[in-house]
């Protein structure tokens, strides 16, 4: 068994935004002070591979101005299909070329004989833990960097033998990988599956939280929330994020928006709300 890549405290800026192609021109036009205030940018590397042409020019220009984080969509860390070795080679080449500080993915499966174009939950079972941990080690060996995994939203558990929390904690303990803590997903799952979101947050290992996500969701019914990333963050998620900071300390956090994209200035206003919340917690307000 190879040595695990070490997890070091994150040096990311306190806040960040998802990189969307619609905003590239406006992002590159920001002043240096505005860039520093925004923080880091996160993007799916699959959307910028392979190298070449206008995509390479744009990501190179972005990399010159912003700290970068990659958040993948198709690693299929929990699937049964063999991990795509060529994809790992492409990723490593990308990470060697650009200063990507963190590579994160979803604790899910995304392929079964072909891409499924969704983030599907794993069975909450010990054999699934063992399977995922082995694949995490394979990915870290190939990339020579730590892998960070995100807790996903899900709508129906699959053959569970343990809770979502127990499953997540076992994966983190046995693999030593980092956690991308999506606070909106914790809130959504807590409503949909009837658990205590604060108790879930309390149980997480502070040392393994590398950064976080917040996003908007859609309320289909009082007991059914849909994780859309298509609206502003609601008050309940802001409150849970504040509790999370109070429990684990303020960590770098990304504002996600994938649909119904507003102009960049409106996104930056919501990002200011995140920055204000972080400052309140630091000051003990």
Q: What does the pLDDT read at residue 5?
A: 44
Count of residues making up the chain:
285
List the one residue out of 255, 245, 279 whose CA is nearest residue 41: 255
User: How is residue 207 annotated by DSSP?
Assistant: G
Domain map of the chain by residue range? 15-282
Q: How far apart are CA 115 and CA 119, in angstroms?
A: 10
**What is the rounded average pLDDT for all residues in the chain?**
92
Q: What does the pLDDT read at residue 40?
A: 98
Domain 15-282: assigned CATH number: 3.20.20.150
Q: What does the pLDDT read at residue 51?
A: 66
Residues of the chain with pLDDT under 50: 1-9
pLDDT digits (tens, 9 = 90+) for 223-266: 889 889 889 999 999 999 999 999 999 999 999 998 889 999 99
Using alpha carbons only, how large is the chain's radius of gyration in Å?
18
Calculate the CA dihedral of residues 111, 114, 117, 122 and round it to 10 degrees. -20
């Amino acid at each position: 068994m190879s040595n695990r890549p070490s997890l070091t405290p994150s040096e990311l800026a306190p806040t960040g935004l998802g990189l969307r192609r619609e905003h590239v021109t406006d992002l590159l036009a920001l002043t240096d002070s505005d860039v520093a205030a925004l923080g880091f940018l996160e993007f799916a590397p699959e959307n910028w591979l392979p190298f070449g042409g206008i995509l390479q020019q744009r990501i190179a220009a972005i990399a010159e101005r912003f700290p970068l984080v990659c958040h993948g969509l198709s690693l299929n860390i929990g699937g049964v299909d063999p991990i795509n070795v060529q994809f790992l080679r492409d990723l490593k080449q990308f990470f060697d070329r650009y200063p990507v500080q963190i590579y994160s993915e979803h604790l899910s499966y995304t392929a079964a004989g072909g891409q499924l174009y969704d983030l599907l939950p794993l069975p909450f079972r010990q054999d699934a833990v063992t399977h995922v941990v082995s694949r995490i080690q394979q990915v870290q060996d190939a990339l020579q960097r730590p892998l960070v995994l995100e807790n996903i939203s899900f709508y129906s558990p699959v053959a569970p033998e343990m809770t979502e929390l127990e499953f997540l904690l076992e994966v983190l303990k046995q693999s030593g990988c980092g956690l991308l803590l999506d606070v909106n997903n914790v809130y959504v799952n807590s409503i949909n599956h009837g658990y205590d979101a604060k108790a879930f947050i309390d149980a997480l290992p502070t040392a393994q939280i590398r950064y976080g996500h917040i996003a908007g969701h859609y309320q289909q019914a009082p007991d059914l929330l849909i994780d859309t990333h298509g609206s502003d963050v609601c008050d309940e998620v802001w409150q849970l994020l504040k509790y999370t900071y109070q429990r684990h300390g303020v960590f770098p956090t990304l504002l996600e928006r994938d649909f119904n994209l507003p102009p960049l200035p409106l996104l930056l206003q919501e990002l200011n709300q995140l920055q204000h919340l972080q400052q309140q917690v630091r000051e003990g307000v």
